[in-house]
Structure 1
Amino acid sequence: MSSSATDRKVETEHISAYSSDQDSLSVDDIFNEKPKLTLPVIKNYFATRLTTLFDLPVYHSDKAWYVLINPIPALREMSWRDWNYYGLGWCGWVLDAMDFFCVSVALPEIAVSLKSSVADITWGVTLVLMLRAIGAISFGLASDRFGRKKCYIVICILFIIVEIATGFVQNLEQFLGVRAIFGILMGSMLPVCMITAMESQPVRARGILSGLFSPAYCVGYIMALVWYKVFAPTYKEGEGWRSLFWFSGGLSIILIIWRMLVPESEEFLIMQEKKKKFKEQNKKNGLHKYFNTTIIQTLKTEWLLFIYLCIAYAGWNFTSHGTQDLYVTMLSNQFGVDLNKRTLIVALSNVGGLIGGACIGNVSEVLGRRLSAIIATIFCGAFVYPSFYDADKNWGAYVVLIGFMIASWGISSAYALELVNKAHRTLLIGLAYQIGNLISAGSATIQAQLGEKYPIPGAAPGVYDYGKVMCIFCGAIFAFMVVILVLGPEKFHRNLKMTPAGLGAKEELEEGLILDSSDKEGKK
């Protein structure tokens, strides 16, 4: 790292005090504290959810709100290496999303080429969703043990193989096989990319960088649409989708070369040394001689937080699937919107997501992560009714709705990173995200089945009132997310960096405002 990167001032933290004392300095640095589940602690925690929610970071800063919300000074703190890390993570997530949506944008053509139905081909999408957790576990553990760089390159190489193979499939069985492998890779790419992009960044830049990271998924969707239009007339008639997959695989070569030129992050190298030191301290204790003792420590300290993150990510995924999966079907089936207009609406909504993510990410630097996500979610609720009733006329409201929905999503990257421990960031965040995604994967099916119970009177057979179902479903999900975020913890601007093994923790890294505690002395 450059000297400017390593000498940054660590700013105020929101640290939860509801845990037991740490056993040692090394545990304190890379592991969270064990949850202390006594009745007084639990009662005090829930009693302080609203007070901590409105104890805003701007109250504890000597800067005015309009200074804190300005992302330019924060982005200027980033070194060229910081920009490389963020660019690698962001572009990897874009490519991951594009590869996923390559199937969605070409579903009818793939079905015809493989002599199958559209419903059969959609199983390829379902398999991807089902198997993502496997990738999150396998590559999450690998990334936290062997490094972000090695795993990033391996995943990209496997992407090339799978995408090229997808372009050569000749039947449904082959197609489902390669997409199942892609599902594992997709589950592994998100956490590796997120950690690569975010863990080394300046504290003040986290809000804007987090706000722009999740909407990279929207960019991937737009790229899939655009490149499909380009490659549709290539190769054989009706089989331009094969060229699309070959092209998508080729893009991974750029990322491999780029990643090879950028060294492993300093944070991982220090963490690796501290894990070795921790294992040496425990190698004489029974089974610790034979197993990875750091993962045992993580299971002891992170289980409660991990459950919360799974629930929170399930809610966020429900908001995404609930607002988007059946929307195009609703436009075409219920309102008769033509293909060109549907494409325009979806593209604009994704652009709205990019804008919303950037804006609310900055707002979180003033209001905190939880409150900012709650405000964005409440605005989503306000736009539910106009988005799904008379959707052919009120599609502008839907663009705003998606903007706020993805804005709430955007905060999740910084929020989760500041909560989990340093020893297994990739595993904890990636697995929580994918379990949440698996829980919410049935959103479209639930909405479709409920919608079929409400045929529109006087309309043609098979025309259903999907708008009513989506309105009720999304309203309930947004209310659920508000409750979950109100009840959740927050460690705003928590230090993500580590001092080298053997040097101990620096005093300034251990100080901060304890805003999740009734004790306001500002110490752990």
Structure 2
Amino acid sequence: MEEVNQPPQNTLTNAAASGPESKENKAHNPWKLIMSLNRQQKMTFIAAFLGWTLDAFDYFIVILTIPYIAKEFKMEPSDITASITVTLCFRPLGAAIFGLLADRYGRRYPLMIDIILYSSMELASGFAPNFSVFIILRAIFGVAMGGEWGLGAALAMEILPPESRGLFSGILQQGYATGYLLASILHYAVIENIGWRAMFWIGSFPALLVIILRFFVPESPVWKAQHNASESTGKTWLLNTKLVLKHHWRRFIYCVLLMACFNFLSHGTQDLYPTFLKVQLGYTPAQVTILTVVANIGAIIGGTLCGYTSQLYGRKLVIIISAILTACFVPLYLLPRNLGLLMFGAFALYFCVQGAWGVVPAHLNELSPSEFRGTFPGLTYQLGNLISSSSAQIEAKLGERFKKDGSPNYGLIIAILTLIVVFSLVVLTLFSKEYKDIDFIEQAVEQSEINNEKNEKEKPDVEKNEKGEVIIENV
């Protein structure tokens, strides 16, 4: 991957600065990092966190209700998992659409439109009369889900001080686990009493987040700086996009492959797990809920701690250690038949999987070209999702084929896929660069100047001869 000119490191922003302590000391004190944020920074982060939490909440409602939807539509669970695949397949489209809008018009308004879209699709899913309608609604939901993460992560990472990026990256990404946790609790309270459709109706309330975004969250100062720098050099948004694609395509491909491994790791271990517990192990809805709650508590703790640790020891090291530990806990995650041991294994594995994921929002935004940060993190993330989109369906099909004691052997397939993905993730991460603590505003201005110089150098020198004919040199 090509180098990026890294600007000088800044201390906390004026609003966040406090006391005579050095930046390094502040990086070691998470409570001071949290308290150093001003009101606008706090509101922006809360909005981004809730947006991702409720987006994941709506997604995991399908995961938890697969057996019930299959029963009503008279289909196999592996057929219903096709709706998960479709949702994941359409996420890159949403990342591209809403990301490009965010780079052109700012982060806030595209994010508001995105939240309204996925909330309305969630409500409509609860009224689906058949599987054909249901899968169409989940495809549109996928478009909206694909847009949310990139916009929310960019807005949050751009407005926070560089020193706090690791900690809040870990917390932000665990909106995913928090959404799973909320969906699990709702599953326990609703599924046996009201039915699976009610879960989708309840899942439509995230639209209320738009009020917070509209009245309390400012536009990204980094986007404003980038926008002003582009205007001052006369570059259009379209020209910026072309320059990014021309000069950063290798990094783009690398990040897509990296995120494919990350998404295989999370979806491969989590999406079919409730079905594994219910179908293969015969656990009740109450037991499934207990296990998923414990696992997601582990995920939230792991993601937060590892995100914070990555600010101290680097993004790459934390990802690699978390991935290796994930492989170590796979047997304890799948083999025990004792509920207590299985709970410990689920807690430990989710801790490690989401520990690696806790680094992703900061790492991807730091790798992103400044002109393309509304699009780059979300699009690479969701293209990685596209590559891994069939993971649950593959596991379901292979599990149904390789039976154990007359039941689908989902556990064996989950274990094999997880170990393959861990190896791939470790190898890819070793070849990554990282730009921890890079100042986004200075990067935006400096990168705009660099791209402008490159563009000028690549323009052919044009002269005219005595007859007025154009002579092109330096082609």
TM-score normalised by structure 1 residue count:
0.75
- Cα distance, 1:163–1:441 mapped onto 2, change above 3 Å: closer
Partner of 2:218: 263
1:80 counterpart (16, 25, 39) = 39
Q: Distance in 2 between matches of 1:111 and 1:327?
A: 16
- The residue matched to 2:438 in structure 1 has which SS? coil
Query: Does 2:150 align with 1:191?
Result: yes
Residue of structure 2 in register with 1:383 after alignment: 329
Partner of 1:487: 431
Of 346-355 and 382-391, more deviation after overlay is shown by 382-391
* Partner residue, 1:295: 241
Contact 1:368 1:492 in 2 (8 A): yes
Find the aligned partners of 2:67 and 2:164 in 1 and give their Cα distance.
43
Question: 1:356 pairs with 298, 302, 318, which one?
Answer: 302
Residue number among 262, 265, 275 corresponding to 2:230 in the alignment: 275
Q: Once the 2 structures are TM-superposed, how far is the Cα of residue 67 of structure 1 from its aligned partner?
A: 6.3
- 8 A Cα contact 1:77 1:202, kept in partner: no
> What secondary structure, in the 3-state scheme, does the structure 2 residue paired with 1:199 have?
helix
Cα distance, 1:83 vs. partner?
A: 0.5
- Taking the aligned partners of 1:104 and 1:357, their CA distance within structure 2 comes to 21
Matches within 5 A, 1:78-477: 78-111=37-70, 118-232=77-191, 240-253=195-208, 255-261=209-215, 262-278=217-233, 280=234, 292-390=238-336, 392=338, 394-395=341-342, 396-451=344-399, 454-456=402-404, 459=405, 461-464=406-409, 466-477=410-421
Q: Residue 113 and residue 338 in structure 1: after superposition, are their counterparts in 2 closer, same or farther (change >3 A)?
A: closer
- Matched to 2:387, the amino acid is I
- Are the equivalent residues in 2 in contact too, given 1:167–1:246 (CA < 8 A)? yes
Which residue of structure 2 lines up, in the alignment, with residue 44 of structure 1? Answer: none
The 8 Å contact of residues 52 and 175 in structure 2, kept in 1 or not, is answered as: yes
1:375 shift after superposition: 1.3
Q: 1:94 to 1:153 in 2, by over 3 A?
A: same
1:385 to partner: Cα distance: 2.6
Counterparts of 1:256 and 1:421, CA distance in 2: 28
Separation (CA, whole Å) in 1 of partners of 2:205 and 2:3: 49
Percentage identity across paired residues of the two chains: 31
What are the superposed Cα offsets for residues 411-466 of structure 1, whole Å, 9 maximum, x if unpaired?
0111111111111112111111111111112223433454456544xx3x2353x4
Check conservation: 1:166, 1:175, Cα contact below 8 A.
yes
Please tell me whether the aligned partners of residues 269 and 414 of structure 2 are also in contact (alpha carbons under 8 angstroms): yes
Aligned residues: 432
1:222/1:145 Cα in 2 relative to 1: closer, same or farther (>3 Å)? same
In terms of mean alpha carbon deviation, does 168-177 or 295-304 score higher?
168-177
Does the 8 Å CA contact 2:64/2:184 hold for their aligned counterparts?
A: yes
In the aligned structure 2, how far is the partner of 1:110 from the partner of 1:410?
Answer: 32
CA distance 1:446–1:122, shift in 2 (3 Å): closer
Partner of 1:496: 440
CA distance in 1, matches of 2:85, 2:103: 28
Q: Could you list the per-position Cα deviations for residues 364-402 of structure 1 after superposition, in whole angstroms to 9, with x for gaps in the alignment? A: 122111011111112112212322222545311231011
Residue deviations 1:245-290 (CA, integer Å, cap 9, x gap) = 333223312x111111123122222221222234x25x8xxxxxxx
Distance 1:122 1:385 in 2: 25
User: How many Å separate the matches in 1 of 2:163 and 2:196?
Assistant: 42
Q: What secondary structure does 1:168 align onto? A: coil
Aligned to 1:39: none
Determine the C-alpha separation between the residues in 2 that align with 1:361 and 1:501.
Answer: 27
Q: Which moved more, 1:291-300 or 1:409-418?
A: 291-300
Supply the distance in 2 between the matched residues of 1:67 and 1:265 (Cα, whole angstroms).
24
Q: Which amino acid aligns with 1:399?
A: F
Question: 1:209 corresponds to which letter in structure 2?
Answer: F
SS across alignment from 1:497:
helix
Is the 1:114–1:170 Cα contact (8 Å) retained in structure 2?
A: no
SS of 2:407's partner is coil
Q: What is the rounded CA distance, in whole Å, between the counterparts of 1:345 and 1:300 in structure 2?
A: 47
* Structure 2 counterpart of 1:511: none
Q: CA 1:479 to 1:160, structure 2 compared with 1: closer, same or farther past 3 Å?
A: closer
Amino acid at match of 2:219: E
SS of the equivalent of 2:359 reads helix
> What displacement does 1:103 show?
2.3
Q: Which residue of 1 aligns with 2:458?
A: none
Unaligned runs of 5+ in 1: 1-15, 23-27, 30-61, 284-290, 506-524
- Aligned pair in 2 of structure 1 residues 66, 477: CA closer, same or farther (>3 Å)? farther
Within 2, Cα distance between the matches of 1:125 and 1:170? Answer: 18
For the 8 Å contact 1:377–1:481, the answer to whether it is kept is: yes
Bigger CA drift: 310-319 or 340-349?
A: 340-349
CA contact under 8 A between 1:212 and 1:357: conserved in structure 2?
yes
Partner Cα separation in structure 1 for residue 154 and residue 3 of structure 2: 26
Shift of residue 482, structure 1, vs aligned partner: 1.2
Q: What is the alpha-carbon distance in structure 2 between the residues aligned to residue 480 and residue 356 of structure 1?
A: 21
